[in-house]
Structure 1
Amino acid sequence: MNTGETFEARRLDTPLDKMMRRHAGRRSRTYTDRKRGRYILARPAGRRRDDLAFDATLRTAAPFQRQREELKKRNRVAFAVRPSDYMRKVRVRRAANLVLFLVDASWSMAVAERMQATKGAILSLLNDAYQRRDRVGLITFQRDRATLILPPTNSVQLAEQALRDIPVGGKTPLSAGLDMAYGILKREKMLHPDVLPLLIVLTDGAGNVSMGHLPPLEEAHYLAERIAEEHIHAVVINMEHAAFDQGLAQELANHLKAPCYNLTDLRAESLYYTVRQEMQSTALKGLEDKR
């Protein structure tokens, strides 16, 4: 099976995209708890005493100096600061995106068309990521297991080799795929705390193989909820034909707290731009979650 048609990635002309692309290199801006990054504002420190913003702390304490004359005399200081005045720095830094594709490689859907579109989109993302330090990975699931076809990488050469021959056929171990994706993304977040992960699940949602004692779909939905609890932004792309759609992909998306796209006429380019828009949404969500 070939690797699908690739194409030159164009820039998306949106306000968020302009903000993210103002400089070369890491594309997405995210709040960080590390003492690195640009100091942009300050918030009350609460119980935290690290990385204090002295300028903001002094401004907070300034209106109370007349009320603290006794405190200043007692401590022999010209300016009195209390713990309630402490302000902590809020920093932003450029963070890399990680896009992990989880693809159903069973015979439950139009495998050849889906695989060709997915391969083309991944290679196009990698070409775009080469200069911007994004990484892309690929997991497939079929028969009785999930397989990590492409570990997170920004190497176009490795991707081309991994995508050349992807096995297809057999049953649909959806929960095994979700479990592997969960493990990889959780590990990536531990190794790279500021990474912005995006999980793209291409499936009809019809899992029929369990890893444990739970029924297949119940097990898959449980794992989807664990992924959502990790605040991992996900997208489900429903690959079932509209005439046979039982709503299982949408049900999976509900448990992932993710949008579900019905792309009946899927091409590599449409998948690519869907992913690009969701990466922008991931960056914005990362900024909001860390406020």
Structure 2
Amino acid sequence: MVRRDDLRQATREGREGNLVLFVVDASGSMAARQRMGAVKGAVLSLLLDAYQRRDKVGLVTFRGSATEVALPPTSSVDAAAARLESLPTGGRTPLAAGLLRAHEVLRVERLRDPARRALVVVVTDGRATGGPEPVALASRAARLFAAGQVASVVVDCESGPVRLGLAGRLADELGGTAVTLDELRADSIAGLVKDVQRRAA
């Protein structure tokens, strides 16, 4: 005989999931190999955490004259590892196009799951060089995120004796926070992401 106490129902936790979208400058400038190695470690670290937290992680890259959704938002660690195994680098820096592609990814994801909070992590030296008026276009694209109140972090990859501070300026236009490439380690970026998400919530 089946009693009322025997019935079980799957219930979801009361916490909403997050979407962490990496927007990565894969151009030839500013130690691309070091940058990409750090990004791969950070994305995989976040995905391992996402597996338990129901979060999703995605990756948009931009270089030359193209942008690519290298990793559509997912919580599959296996899928991410396969996509991250070999990401091409080189060419100019179409920063505005990369930001606009990321904005479109977020728009689609928001339609699919309006309750999921988004965080954009832009990894770049800020030196936009692709297309006409690249810096002005990048600024305009960045302000779309600020207008939509999307939480954001810019990882400043600028190095060398002459520094223009363009990544810091981009963070201001996004309405977000700037950190240095030295802080782009899997453990610290994961902690930073969680801190920004707590403040956004």
TM-score (norm 1): 0.62
| Equivalent residues in 2 for 1:57-206, closer than 5 Å | 93-206=14-127
Query: 2:153 aligned to 235, 240, 244, which one?
Result: 235
Offset at 1:124? 1.1
Amino acid at match of 1:96: G
Return the alpha-carbon distance in structure 2 between the equivalents of residues 272 and 124 of structure 1.
7
**Structure 1 counterpart of 2:146, which letter?**
A
The residue that corresponds to 1:88 in the other structure is none
Of structures 1 and 2, the one with the larger relative CO (CA 8 A, separation 6+) is 2
3-state SS, counterpart of residue 161 of structure 2:
helix
Say if 1:247 and 1:177 are closer, same or farther in 2 by CA, change over 3 A. same
- For structure 1, list consecutive stretches of 5 or more residues without a partner in the other structure: 1-23, 27-92, 284-291
Detail structure 1 runs of 4+ shifted over 4 Å in the superposition.
none
* Structure 2 SS opposite 1:243: coil
Which AA in structure 1 matches 2:102?
A
Is residue 197–residue 282 contact of structure 1 (8 Å, CA) maintained in 2?
no
- Alpha carbons of structure 1 residues 94 and 272: separation in structure 2 relative to 1, 3 Å: closer
User: What is the alpha-carbon distance in structure 2 between the residues aligned to residue 282 and residue 265 of structure 1?
Assistant: 21
Contact 2:183 2:189 in 1 (8 A): no
Question: What is the rounded CA distance, in whole Å, between the counterparts of 1:104 and 1:282 in structure 2?
Answer: 25
Letter of the aligned partner of 1:95 in structure 2? E
* Percent of aligned positions that are identical: 42
Q: Which residue of 1 aligns with 2:185?
A: 267
Displacement after TM superposition at 1:25 (Å)? 6.5
Q: 1:265, CA displacement in angstroms?
A: 6.0
Root mean square deviation of aligned Cα? 1.7
Q: How many residues align?
A: 191
